């Protein structure tokens, strides 16, 4: 096999694995979020106002 073909296969494999991991993590994140009723959410927003859009901590994982 040529080097270009090997690199292309490697890139495709990485992208496929990355997409699969992202899909799994999004499912895990969704399952870890607690269910909040509409009334509870309104109460939370009334007490604490709107959340700031500033990220407190960012974690980047490279595969």
Domain boundaries, the chain: 3-48
This prediction's pTM: 0.48
Rounded Cα gap, residues 38 and 13, in angstroms: 42
Digitized pLDDT (tens) for each residue of the chain, 63 residues in all: 789 999 999 999 999 999 999 999 998 988 888 888 889 989 988 898 876 777 677 778 887
Rounded Cα gap, residues 48 and 26, in angstroms: 26
Q: How far is CA 7 from CA 11, 17, 19, 37, 51, in A?
A: 6, 15, 18, 49, 44
- Contact between 9 and 2 under an 8 Å Cβ cutoff? The reply is no
Give me the pLDDT at residue 18, please.
Answer: 95
- Contact between 21 and 63 under an 8 Å Cβ cutoff? The reply is yes
């Amino acid at each position: 096999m040529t080097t270009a073909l090997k690199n292309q296969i490697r890139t495709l494999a990485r992208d496929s694995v990355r997409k699969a991991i992202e899909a799994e993590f999004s499912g895990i994140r969704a399952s870890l979020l607690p269910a909040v009723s509409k009334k509870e959410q309104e109460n939370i927003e009334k007490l604490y106002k709107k959340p700031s859009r500033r990220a407190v901590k960012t974690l980047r994982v490279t595969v």
